Structures are given as C-alpha cells and as structure tokens.
Amino acid sequence: MKDLIIIGSGGLGREAIWIAERMNAHNPEWNILGFIDDNPELSGTSVSGYPILGTTADVVKYPDAYYVCAIGNAKARKLVTKKARSFAPIKFATLIDPACIFSNKVTFGEGCVVCAYTYITVDIKIGNHVYIGANCTVGHDAVVEDFVTLYPSVTLSGNTHIASGCELGTGSQVIQGLTVGSNTIVGAGSAVIRNLPSDCTAVGVPALPIKFHRKKA
C-alpha cells in the first residue's frame, strides 16, 4: 500500500479521506497517514481520527508519500500546491470515488479529487488538481483544465472547455460547445449559454458577468 497525506483538513480534506477509505474498501491501496495543515491551532490535534502531521514545510519528512491538496477554492489550492512543492518534489495522487462512473477514454491528471455519483463520459481530458463534487456530469469531448473546481451537481455538456482556475458553483450548467475563460467564477444555479471571458464572476440564467477580477501585477 502507498502512503497518503491530505493537504488541508477542512471539509474537502475530510471528503478526500472518506474517498480514500471507500477506495480501500474495494481495493486496498492507500495507507492514510493523516493531514498537513498550515493552521497553527491544529498542531498536535487530529481530524476525523487522523493526526495533523505538520505544516506544508513538513512534507520533507515524508518523501515517499503521495499527497492530495484538498482545498475547494481553486486559487488557494494552486497557491498551497505550489508552496508544498517549494519544499520538496512531492508526488500527487488522484482519488476517484468507486461510485463515480467514467469510461476508459477519460484521462485524469495528478492531484484530482472526484466525488461519488459523478458521471464522466467519453474522450474527456481532466487536468491536474481538479476537484469534481458529487453528482456532476461531464459530457463527451470536454476539457477541464488544471485547478478547476466543479462544486456538486454541475453539468458540463459535450465539447465544453473549462479553462484553468475556474470555479463553477453548485448546480450550474454549461451548454454544449462553450468555453469558460480562466479564473472565472460561475455562480450557483447559473446557466452558461454563451462563452464567458476570463477573470470574471458570472451569475444568473443566462449567466452574465457582474464583475471582473483585478489581476495582480
């Protein structure tokens, strides 16, 4: 069995642990060591029965382990992943719940978390460090780039392209053939019926940008 450490002990971190446990019930694969978390108040405690092993700087103590950065916010997940890798060239696992249905024509990058009852069809590319919540649907020929977050019950129709760093809120939908630009946030329950630009927040039915995010210099 391979050692597994979850970075982040919040809600998604606990979900990731649960997925690893469910995977082990089907086919023992992961020796779950515990969590890494930069919150100093958690030092020496445990979460869901697993110890807090230290902060991101402590990844150097576990060079043979696999990691998953389980932070829902896409921007924070990217920053924490980069921070952890600045201390050591760590390896990342991908956790896919046994109740997820996907074809052998789907590719997953490293560090992904895919929750139960998600349906991913054919000829789909999922990038690195993608979080896909429960009950999502991803249609044929879709591309989901790195560090995307799909919250529960998101529907991506066929030939959609979700660029890096996007967050799609619970129950949102993207109709076929559309692109959502990088780092864009789509509000819960919104329906995307035309391409969305990068670096904006879009809400509503149809989803329209309501603000644009200022890029850091």
Residue 61, Cβ neighbours under 10 Å: how many?
Answer: 13
Distance (Å) of CA 190 to CA 31, 145, 168: 39, 20, 9
Strands 95-96 and 66-69: unpaired
Whether domain 96-202 has CATH 2.160.10.10: yes
Q: What is the CATH number of domain 2-93?
A: 3.40.50.20
- Contact partners, residue 168, CB within 8 Å, separation at least 6: 148, 149, 150, 151, 154, 162, 174, 180, 186
- CA-CA distance, 202 to 92, in Å (whole number)? 31
Q: Do domains 2-93 and 96-202 have the same CATH topology?
A: no
pLDDT band at 215 (very low <50, low <70, confident <90, very high): low
26-40 residue pLDDT tens: 999 999 999 999 998
Can you tell me the distance from the alpha carbon of 7 to that of 11, in angstroms, rounded to the nearest whole number? Answer: 12
Please report the pLDDT score of residue 162 as a whole number. 98
The 10s digit of each residue's pLDDT in 152-193 is 999 999 999 999 999 999 999 999 999 999 999 999 999 999
- The dihedral through the CA atoms of 66, 121, 140, 189 has a sign that is negative
**Active-site annotation holds for 140:** yes
Q: Are 13 and 35 in contact (CB under 8 A)?
A: yes
pLDDT > 80? residue 216 = no
With a CB cutoff of 8 Å and minimum separation 6, the contacts of 56 are 7, 36, 38, 80, 83, 84, 87
Res. 55: pLDDT tops 60: yes
pLDDT of res. 76: 96
Q: Where are the domains of the chain?
A: 2-93, 96-202
Mean pLDDT of 131-158: 98
Query: What pLDDT shows up at residue 43?
Result: 85
The catalytic residue among 129, 140, 161, 213 is 140
Q: What is the mean pLDDT of the chain?
A: 96
**Average of per-residue pLDDT across 115-120:** 97
